Structure 1
Amino acid sequence: MAPKKAKETTPDEAAAKKEAAAAKKQAAAAKKAAGGGSESKPTVKKETKVTVTGEEAVNTIYEYLQVQNRPYSATEIFTNLHGAVGKTHVPKHLKELVERGNVVECTSGKQVVYHIVQDTDSKYSEEELAAIRSESASLSAQLATLRSQKRELDHKLAKIRSAPPLEELQEKVEALKEEIAHREEILEPLRASANDLTDEQKEAARVLEKDRDAARALYYRRKKSYKELLGIICDGLDKSPDKLIEDLGLEEVPI
């Protein structure tokens, strides 16, 4: 298969292309002459750090330690001052402050720290200090008393919390009432015919009465626990026992 022939350019088309290239070249030259060939980026001026020296540097370190009022190492002081004093000058000026008696040098482990000289003059007189010590001793005694009272209250609270809940007490009271009623039914005919009882029946009656008395004593103990628990609940709800019994629909049956 024969290759395709390239499209021939007419004289008019060649002239048009030549004019377009010349116009493009002329526009580029004009733009370059006007200074628009490339945009220049604005230069950012770096902020220079102000480093103090001499006595001004000594005062800067001293004022910093005075304001902070805590120990720092030479490296920490240089870092916290953000380069206001040269790194190699900080230890030198600290030594100078130590020699002047304005700063104390201490060794903490492997690190050397510096802090401002503390004022040892007390603003309190001996009488005032004695009064403060006396008050401190009195407060310590009060604190010991309060702690003892707290332990007692915690013990009472633990005892109250270990008591059976109200619902359980109510169930036990009802069970005791039923048991007492049942025993009363057994005792009633025996009492009516006490004179006709045999010795065995009388002994059985005595056993029943003894059991009844034991059940009654247990009932009163349970009732006492019920009253105590009811009082605690009433204190928490800010209600009287009678009002709470009425609201809960409880009924107290005397024995």
Structure 2
Amino acid sequence: MSKSKDAQASRAVLDYLNKQNRPYSAIDICNNLHKEHGKTAIVKACEVLTEEGKIKEKINGKQKCYFADQSQFPEVDDSEIKEMDVKIIKLSELVQSKQEENKKLETELRILNSSISTEDAQKELHSLNEECKNCKEKLASLKGGAVQISPAEKDRIYKMREKFVKEWRKRKRLTNDVLGAILEGYPKTKKQLYEDVGIETDEDLHVTVPEI
């Protein structure tokens, strides 16, 4: 490796350790520098910088870690450390608050994305009005004594209803089995799981499986 590349690796290691001011292994440094320099170059740079006294080395068994020379930094008194600890606590609370707020917003966004648009709602309303109109006309015709359906058609409809109700029950049972298996290892409540996944139950829509 050229002296120029060695110097670049050493400068990168020194700048990184001084900026982070915490211990790292050579492999960690290599990964954190996004492998801009090879592992061999980083290891060599750490050894050279240690020999030159620009960084410090600590050996724990076979593991070596490197950190910035603390003599170059100004001393920090206890009161300043306490202020920093308080600031860390406040910032941690703020992060948690923002995460919870973000989670609520994501839930609202998911609900909005799954909601029908105004244009589609207007089309559906028009379709339902037409359907309602047709039903009223059919009702009026039935009240007038007109025969609208044959016994064979009636029997076919009842069989279809029975088939669909059975399928409804089957799918609900399978879904509940799957969700039950998930909940065995899920760290939150059943309600929270449904919210996270975006599941709407029959109960949420105030419907029940019909009797056959």
Band the TM-score falls in, shorter-chain normalisation: 0.3 to 0.5
* TM-score after normalising by structure 1: 0.30
Larger radius of gyration: 1
- Larger RCO (alpha carbons 8 Å, 6+ apart): 2
